[in-house]
A and B are shown apart, each in its own frame.
Chain A
């Protein structure tokens, strides 16, 4: 197969876990909650997906388990911050530590086990088309799901009444509450959605990208996802671009090294981060536009008065 296509396939694999986690967190932040526990929810999803796939032999059940486990982890955060009014930043950080610990404990029996990677789609004729076939029609189902999520979230936020309510809650929870919208309920659901997405992102890592279970295997991807949400100025389309940019530069620099380009590896390793920072700076130039998109109540606790 043509190397360009192989490289593009590599980029898709590297970008998908980031995209899942970022799109979930985007919805959470749009509802006005800052959940820094993405890394923790991802790693719990990674082990849940892996363990369930091993136990049941079914990738589908594995994915369901990953999403459920991610959502369950998020539910802990939701109860703590929405009902018990704990500090969101501290709780999010704690959630990450908790997730890493719990997954390592739970995963002890599974490390060293093997499962087949999630099957790639193969549609007769279409998947065999030159270029278009391998590029667009022969990925695993999660790749399509991640893209569908981006489109779905964009549509939901901008075109539906429920999306409007979610944004209203994120912009001004007091006003939304005064009008009679259930602020806590909306946020709770957004958090569950974010957790499920992060869980799937983790499962992508343990079921497709590597595919194995090792402690701590997310290695900071949750934090990249958080950066991508800011990078995207809370817009789903840009989150897609951010995830693919980051994944793309990561994979391209590995290939560049393989080809022996005369640039020191450290500079190449920096590239994904540098690119992200540079684009972030360019985007942030127009302050008004950024603050227009940033949810005004992001990270603020909500006390229902009355």
Chain B
């Protein structure tokens, strides 16, 4: 059904684009296309990307025209949608999920004049840039808070797919929590979806039933936050500030701030200065933010979190600083060594201490 609804949406979008191409062709607007993996109303990942789209409209007014297609599944369907956007005359297309990587590259070859921007991937081309954020910096800070605040020493982690992005988050949070609480235990549950509020809620309940008193998530809906609120435990929001779903539960959220990047890229297209780049911004670039800390966080923990945040921002602290062993006990980083970006981007292993096997 998703497929069908996508097909319909794409058709409507295509028709709209064609019509627009007919009428507004002379106006010389920069056309910006977006494709989203979930609904823009997910209050998480896709929601924040759409906020970025709206920021572009606000910034450039009638000099731009934006289009988006939501709920596009990762796979062959994505290629068709990206192709439609390109055919419809988009000047720059943002493809905002890891799974859109290969379709983006494929379509980009067919449309050398269109600029493509792929989020969280690692394949580039003359007309394909990649961009992502160092969410693991946020994960480090929430790991510290969780390590200090858990009473059961059990953190529940709802994970989506075993891609480097997600694995990195688990490792970063675990290492930080472990550094302040040697007895910490992470229970990781993979739900094999980015967005299924019912399943995310089921997973949250299962983790709470098994003794987790703080939840972290790497899925897109606020369902886990809501379940944490009902259960009277704590949780960290993901991608977007989820405070209103868990006014008592949320300790803080890792917030993706795409607007500055999106605006600068569209500007580059307008100025004709766009070129293929690889951007990976963290706290320092303002692409990763932490929402307001809950007043449930004790003053000393809060101070520690703020200190870590500032140190990462200043570049004096790297969340992955050795000695760190891989789960199998082999050495990954020697004492004092920090992780090279290449290792982080391809991370496909748990660090020592994380229990369970990483799905391959």
- Are A and B interaction partners? yes
Chain A: interface size category: 35 or more
Q: Which residues of B contact A219 (CB under 8 A)?
A: 193, 195-199
Complex CA distance for A212 and B4, rounded to whole angstroms: 26
Known: A6-B209, A97-B8, A255-B206. Contact between A214 and B221, CB under 8 A? Answer: yes
Interface string of A197-223 (1 = CB under 8 A from B): 000000001000111101111111111
Residue numbers in A under 8 Å from B43 (CB-CB): 111-112, 214
Please determine whether B1 and A220 come into contact, CB atoms closer than 8 angstroms.
Answer: yes
Q: Is B150 an interface residue (CB 8 A)?
A: no
Name B41's contact: one of A39, A93, A104, A211 (CB within 8 Å). Answer: A104
Known A-B contacts A210-B223, A216-B71; A112 and B202 likewise in contact (beta carbons under 8 Å) = no
- CB-CB under 8 A from A56, the residues of chain B are none
Query: A6 vs B205: C-alpha distance in the bound complex, in angstroms?
Result: 9
Verify A216–B209 contact, CB threshold 8 A.
Answer: no
CA A264 to CA B355, docked complex, whole Å: 13
In the complex, A214→B230 CA distance in Å? 17
Inside 8 A of B197's CB, which chain A residues have their CB? 205, 210, 212, 214, 217, 219
Known contacts A104-B39, A257-B188; is-contact A212 B245 (Cβ 8 Å): yes
Give residues of chain B (171-203) contacting chain A, Cβ–Cβ below 8 Å. Answer: 187-193, 195-199, 201-203
What's the tally of chain B residues with a CB closer than 8 Å to chain A? Answer: 47
Q: Given that A212-B226, A214-B197 are contacting pairs, would A269 and B39 also be in contact in the complex, using a CB cutoff of 8 Å?
A: no
**B279 neighbours in A (Cβ, 8 Å):** none
Per-residue interface assignment for chain B, residues 38 to 63, with 1 indicating a CB less than 8 Å from any chain A CB and 0 otherwise = 11111100000000000000000000
Tally of A-B Cβ pairs under 8 angstroms: 135
Q: Which residues of B contact A268 (CB under 8 A)?
A: 190
Partner of A221, one of B40, B198, B223: B198
| Chain B neighbourhood of A269, CB < 8 A | 190-192
* A162 adjacent to chain B (CB < 8 Å): no
Residue on A nearest B244 in the bound complex, by CB: A112
- Give residues 91-148 of A contacting B (CB, 8 Å): 93, 96-97, 100-101, 104, 107-108, 111-114, 117
- Whether A97 contacts B198 by the Cβ 8 Å rule is no
Would you call A41 an interface residue if the criterion is a C-beta within 8 Å of the partner chain's C-beta atoms? no
- The stretch that binds B, out of A9-17, A178-186, A228-236, is A9-17
Q: A210-B227, A262-B357 are in contact. Are A97 and B1 (CB under 8 A)?
A: yes
Closest to B189 in A: A257
Whether a CB of chain A sits under 8 angstroms from the CB of B281 is no
Determine the chain B residues whose CB is within 8 A of the CB of A97 once the complex forms.
1, 4-5, 8
Q: Are A265 and B1 interface neighbours, CB within 8 A? A: no
Are B223 and A212 in contact, CB atoms less than 8 angstroms apart? Answer: yes
How long is the Cα–Cα vector from A297 to B295 in the complex, in angstroms?
Answer: 63
Say whether A96 contacts B189, CB under 8 Å. no
**Cβ 8 A contact of A265, one of B4, B206, B230, B359:** B359
Cα–Cα, bound, A210→B210 (Å): 18
A223 touches B244 (CB 8 A): no
Question: Which A residues are CB-close (under 8 A) to B40?
Answer: 215
Q: Which chain B residues border A10 with CB–CB below 8 Å?
A: 202, 205-206, 209
Residues of A within 8 A of B156 (CB): 258
* CA gap between A14 and B209 in the complex, in Å: 15
Given contacts A10-B209, A257-B189, A257-B190, contact A216 B195 (CB under 8 A): yes
New A-B pairs, 12, CB < 8 Å, besides A93-B1, A108-B41: A96-B4, A97-B8, A112-B244, A210-B226, A211-B230, A214-B39, A214-B43, A217-B221, A254-B202, A262-B356, A268-B190, A269-B190
* Chain A residues near B (Cβ < 8 Å): 3, 6-7, 10, 13-14, 17, 39, 93, 96-97, 100-101, 104, 107-108, 111-114, 117, 205, 209-212, 214-223, 250-251, 254-255, 257-260, 262, 264-266, 268-269
